[in-house]
Every structure is written in C-alpha cells, then in structure tokens.
Structure 1
C-alpha cells in the first residue's frame, strides 16, 4: 500500500517538483499566504493598476466615482468623552495630518492597490502623525504562526545613503512593528487595511484588477478607430487608361504626381481615361457594437451601470435608477468599511495619547459617520417619515400607542437610529 505524502501533493499542485533545480529557483523569495498571488504577480498587478489610473480615463473615472460616493462631502466623528473628542479633532486638523484631504487619497489607494499601509508615528506629547506607504514598498508581512490576520511586523523597502556620499544611495528593508492597541507605544508602527482579500490571504487586490485586460483592449480598439477616422477623408485617385507599354504608364503617373489635382478643382479628361476614388470603408455600425460590448464588460466588472461611464445607451430615468441600486449597495459596503478604518485609526491615536495624558480614555466610544450615498434616499425617507408621523399622531391621540414607541417607529422609517431617552 502506497504512503500518501500530503506535503508532496500540495507541492505538485502548486507546480513545485522535487528536483535539484527547485531550491535554486526559490532562493530569495519571501514566504506568502496560501491564497495570495505570487509576489511578482501581485506587484505587477498593483503597478498595472496605477499605470491604468494615470493614463486611462475610464480607469481613473472608476476610482474617482468610488471615492466620491464613499467620502462624499466628508467624514465626521464624535467621541463620547469631551477630552477625547477635543484631542481627536486636534489630530484630525493638524497641519501635518490634514485628514480632510488625506482621506480622499486613501480611498483612491484602496481602489488602486487593494491595500492601505498607514505608518503611525508620535511625538513626545502623544500627538500622532499618519503617512500612507505605497504597497509596492512593502516587501513582506510577518504574522503570527497561527493567524494570518494578526500581523507582527512589516518590511518596507527604503533608500539610505552610502557613506554619506551625495546623490548616492542604496536600498534596504526596514521593519516596523504592527500597531497594537492593547500594548501601545510611541514608537512608529504600521496599520494594514485591505479590500477584495480572499479568505486565507494577507494581501488585498485592486478594484481594477479584473478590468485591466478589458480596459487595455478597449483603449487599443478606440485608438485604432481614431486612427482610421483620422484618415477617413484621405483617398487615392485611380486612373484607368489604355497604354501602349509600361513606359507610357509610368510617364503618365509621373505627370499626375508632379501636378496632382487640388481639392475642389475641376478635372477634365478625355474618353481614354477613367478616374475613380478609393476611400476606406469603416463599417462604423459594426464597430459601435463591438465597442459597446467591451464597455459593458468593463462596467460589469466595476459594478457600475453604463450611464456612469458616459454611455446612456437606451436607458431612461426609471431604468437608470433601478440599475444604480446594486451600485449603491456596493458603495455602502465600501463606505462602511472605510468608516471602520477611520474609527480604528482614531482608537490607535487615543491609545498612544493615553500613555502621556491621563485624562484620555483609550476605550472611549467613537461614532464615525459619512455622507449619504444617494440623495434620492433622503426624499424617500422624508416622505415615509411624514406619512408615518401622521399615522402615529392619530394612534397616540387615541392612546393606542405610547409616545416613546411612536418616536421609535417614526425614526425607524426615517432611517435614523436615535436613542429615545436622548431625545427626551
């Protein structure tokens, strides 16, 4: 009976065969989670997404739409304790943080790379400062042996000078510990947030990752169509005549090339010559169908309707609103995650400040809120609140329901989550 070796089966499934060349091939590679992309492929995908965002209007539009809905008019927060709230607003508005501007960059980075690495540092007074580190600089993520979701340290590729020689530098890996709210220090530490991360992986993936191939194909197709349209008005004259020999034909061709007919001029020829024009046949109707098919693939992968990409097609207002429903759900999920990201960051800054200031409560509750995803929801909720308010008023007048219960139902229909005691 043959003995089954699980490790050997896994290595064969991964394409790793036991031979003398394999150890040399994997020298210098960093360990990774079982379901992460290979390191070289992950970096290539992140760089391709950044290039597409820089050069392709559709890619940039997809990223900007996500940020516009997730951030909206801004993010607001309120700490339960007054001293904590005062410090958090000082941190938020500090000239070296400028969080109202920085959060837009962070949202864009989450879309482009699927990862957001935030380096958190503090001065002796406990004031914290944040800087986002490009995902391409992160060389390795060390986590606990029994849990990939508990990072221990991050290796960042950083330049350093060689023997203090000007304009001469090399690169090395500097390790930063993962930030820990339960054991905070004032030393620099790293926070890592991800989107589109498969279960069992450490790295997230860009929103643009499944779209890159189709965005490239659409760009190439559009460039070809633009080039053809550029020469659409270019044409060639074809002159048919009877020539006695090849020399006469070449002589006539040289005469016409020397003095070609000017546009708009009148050309008079004899019966022995027959003039015609050759022009490109673009078949624009078929090309429009091909371009629309590729654009639909891009829109489907991005989770947005076509009219978000300046392609109204045959949609009316009703179909456009219904098509945007699933898109709003996606933006709501991303906004919920981003608000949690901000809340977690604020909790870390409180934990660091608490090491210096005893008035700070690191376990203070922080409520973080964002802008409404869709303005149409406000109209629907206001109408629902107005109608249910009239009904609740009739029920309370007849003493069929208590005032507290009526308020709870009204706020529920208005989409608000308020404490009845706080209202009273």
Structure 2
C-alpha cells in the first residue's frame, strides 16, 4: 500500500527527473542537437572549433611564414595604397568628418592599414563604436577569434541583433548569459541599427568577406592555402637540411693496431688535430685514408617546389612573379597574368571603401543628435589610389579614341548625349550616373554646341589655348 501511494504521489516528479536526465544525455551524444543549439548552427558556416582553428592557423602563418605575410601585405598595399581620403560637400559635415578621421584616438589614416590586414587575415571585422557627450565617435576592432556568437533576426540573417564575445573569467557575472544550448556567453554587444540607434550606448558593426550565402562569418584569404603554405615551408626546410648534410663528410682511417687501446689513442690524436682543407698529409703504408659523404639525391626537386608554390599563388590570386618566382622572363606574360589579380584587388578595394564609408555614415548619424546642422543625407566620398597606374594610361588612350569616333556620330545626330556619355565613361573605366551628369551639365551651362574632336582641343600642351576660355 505504501509503495502504491508513493508511486501515485511522486510519479510525475520522477518521470520529469528521468526525462531531464535523458535529455542531458542525448544532448551530449546527439550531434544534430548540438548543431541546433551551438553557435555554429548555421549549416553554411564552419563549426565553431573549425573556424577558431583556421583563425589561429592564419595568424600563426602570418607571423612565421614569409609567403603568408607577403600575401596579406600585397592586399593592403593595393587596396589602401598611399592612404584613403574622405570628404563631403556639406561644409559642416565635412569639418566633422575631418575631425573624426584625424582624431588622436581614432587615427584612421594609420588604422585602416591594420583593418585591411585583419580583414584579409580573418575574413571579417568587428568594429565597436562608442560616442562621447560631444558627439565624437571612437572605433575599436575586436579580434574575430574572440567572437562566440552572432544573434540575428529570426527570418533574416543580414539583420544582426546582438554579437556575443567569448566568456572571460575576469568578466563580472552580469556580463555573462546563457545561450540556447546552455553555454556561457561573454559580453553582449548591440548590433548597429541606424533606425533604432541610441548614441549614448556603444554598438558593434560587423563586416565580412568571402562569406557564403546563408552564412554569418567570413573566410580568411589564407584559409584555402594554409596547408599548402605548411607543405611548402616543410619542403623548403627539408631541402635546406638536405643540402646542408650533403656537404658534410668524415674521414675513415684504416690501419693495423695491436689492440683496442692503440686504436683509441690514434683516434684521439687525430681528433685533437684534424687535417685542415687543402693541407698536405703524409702517412706511411700502414694507414689508408678515405672520405665518407652521404649520397643524398633528390630528383625533380625544383618541379616539386614550383608545384607547391603554384598552389599558393592560385589560392591567393597572385601571379608567381608577385611571390618572388619569375616563372616567365617575358614582360608581356607577366603583365597579362596580373590582370585577374588587379580585378581581385579592385573588388576588395570597392568593398573596403564602402566599409569605411559605412563607418563614417554611422559616426555622422550619431553626431546629428548633438549637432543639428550636420546633414546626414549628404553623400560621403571615400577615395583611394588606383590599383594600377598602367591601367590609367590604357584607359585614357581608349577613351580618347572612342570619343574621337563617337563625336562624329553625335555631330551627325545618330546618337544622343546620354549614349555619347555612356560610351565615353565606359571606355574610361568609370561607372557613373549618366542622367545625373546630364542634369549637372545643363545646370552648368554648355560652352559648345557639339562635342569637340581631339584635333580641335589643341595638342594637349600646357601652353595650348583652351577653347573654353
């Protein structure tokens, strides 16, 4: 009776406890459940442990491998080049931009080099923004490896809500929280939202490159070539060790000794005063001297090293002559192989300029709360040096020739002004708003009834008369 009474009284509690323990056991053993409740639950992203390993390996390769360091430097040297400039046509907005850009605690002219390196090395940037009571915003970058989780909107991965750092034992308890799977999370940062921003609170902005569709995290540019960098370094080290031991040798002395003590005495005598290279050694017929050297041969070593380096070059998007490997001595081949590389650098430069522009616009929006004269709708121009100066020369020649050809069509009335401008700027390599240019041209007033041919514009010298004067 007592047993039946206890069963009826505590059966629900016992079942709940059993179910809880079973769930805990399944949570440990079931990989599918782990993926659902861990920070790498998005199938297009790497698992958290894999992403951390790649980031650590990329940083280590950048530190100790000259090829990895050079690949990262090449991206920064072409993308940032001699530096970036930022401006706005609105006077007061431009004044704040220059103050923000050159502020001692921001130091953006120097910081952009570090950020471009980090973007290449880690594949993403996490920039925190804090604003003081005067409206000045300060930027700091958090290493990507210190980020644990990105929380997004339920139906849109691009709408990031919160970003969590990894748990730090030095953090206070209020800065830690439990994630969906019960894991501890560190400090929570609010993702920047221009429509619901509070300038008094710090926010974080996330930028990523090499990100697959449906993923949250970017990929390091070094990720595909880490194993090949390691193999090339191991191959090169083996070659250096092999060449070192290949040059080593020892002397063997053959003689007849009456006992072991006599042999050891002769060996000690020779070790105390070994013969120098080029010296003359006189011996009697009782001794025979020979030289032993390792017969180490490695066939097709150069081809193996070149094959490994080609994998590194292909993975990084650089031709071999960018990586100190003049595979071809012809200038034409070298210039042709640089074309795809310049395209890659141009795409990265476009993204990096947009990144800086987005940060500047966020800083201006926050400044607007403290200075009503700031114009947040005024366009911000961020410019950088061209990727290749040779491209400018070729584009200038192409634009000159196409303008000369199409000017005659325009004078004959076969094309309109919009088509003429489209063709001219297309061959000049510039993407512009044709209708905006036409409107600005009408506003500025026309100086000629028809476009001028190159022959009508003088020979291009500084002393030539300008028809527009």
2:436 matches 1:422: no
Tell which deviates more after alignment, 142-151 or 381-390: 381-390
- Secondary structure (helix, strand or coil) at the match of 2:53 reads helix
The worse-fitting range, judged by mean Cα deviation, of 79-88 and 146-155 is 79-88
> What are the superposed Cα offsets for residues 296-346 of structure 1, whole Å, 9 maximum, x if unpaired?
111111111111110102341111111111111111111111111112112
| Cα deviation code 1:180-199 (max 9, x no counterpart) | 11122111000000111122
- Cα distance in 2 for partners of 1:402, 1:208 equals 49
In the other structure, the counterpart of 1:71 is: 80
Selected match of 2:190 from 173, 177, 181:
177
Is 1:24 the counterpart of 2:28 in the alignment? yes
Task: Single out whichever of 272-281 and 91-100 deviates more from structure 2.
Answer: 272-281
The DSSP-based 3-state class of the residue aligned with 2:186 is strand
Match of 1:128 among 125, 131, 137: 137
The answer (yes or no) to whether the contact 1:184–1:351 under 8 Å persists in 2 is no
CA distances 1:48-98 after superposition (whole Å, capped 9, x unpaired): 111111111111100000111111122233335333222222211212111
**What aligned pairs does 1:285-364 form with structure 2 within 5 A after superposition?**
286-364=300-378
Q: Which has the higher contact order (CA 8 A, sep 6+)?
A: 1
Q: Tell me the alpha carbon deviations over residues 342-370 of structure 1, each in whole angstroms, 9 at most, x when there is no partner.
A: 12112211221122222223233223332
Deviation at 1:263, TM superposition (A): 2.3
Indicate conservation of the 8 Å contact 1:117/1:135, yes or no: yes
Mean Cα deviation higher: 405-414 or 43-52: 405-414
The answer (yes or no) to whether the contact 2:164–2:185 under 8 Å persists in 1 is no
Cα drift, residue 29 of structure 1: 4.9
Distance of 1:281 and 1:90 partners within structure 2: 68
Cα distance in 2, alignment partners of residues 226 and 47 from structure 1: 27
Aligned length: 400
SS at structure 2 position matched to 1:238: strand
Q: Deviations over 1:7-45 (max 9, x none)?
A: xxxxxxxxxxx9974423659954532222121221121
Cα deviation for residue 223 of structure 1 reads 2.1
Q: 1:99 to 1:246 in 2, by over 3 A?
A: same
Pick from 64, 68, 72 the counterpart of residue 59 of structure 1. 68
Secondary structure at the residue paired with 1:201? coil
**Which string of whole-angstrom CA distances, capped at 9 and with x for unpartnered residues, describes residues 106-130 of structure 1?**
1100111111000011112222111
* 1:211 alignment counterpart: 225
Moved more, 70-79 or 414-423: 414-423
CA distance in 2, matches of 1:55, 1:178: 35
CA deviation string 1:150-179 (max 9, x = no partner): 11111124574789xxxxxxx982111000
Counterpart position of 1:14: none
Q: Does 1:42 align with 2:56?
A: no
TM-score (norm 1): 0.84
Q: Which has the larger radius of gyration?
A: 2
Measure the CA separation in 2 of the matches of 1:373 and 1:396.
Answer: 33
> Partners in 2 of 1:204 and 1:82 — Cα distance?
37
Do 1:185 and 1:355's aligned partners in 2 also have CA atoms closer than 8 Å?
no
TM-score for the superposition, normalised by structure 2: 0.77
CA contact (8 A) 1:211 1:302 kept: yes
Give ranges in structure 1 of 5+ residues lacking alignment.
1-17, 164-170
> CA contact under 8 A between 2:251 and 2:292: conserved in structure 1?
yes
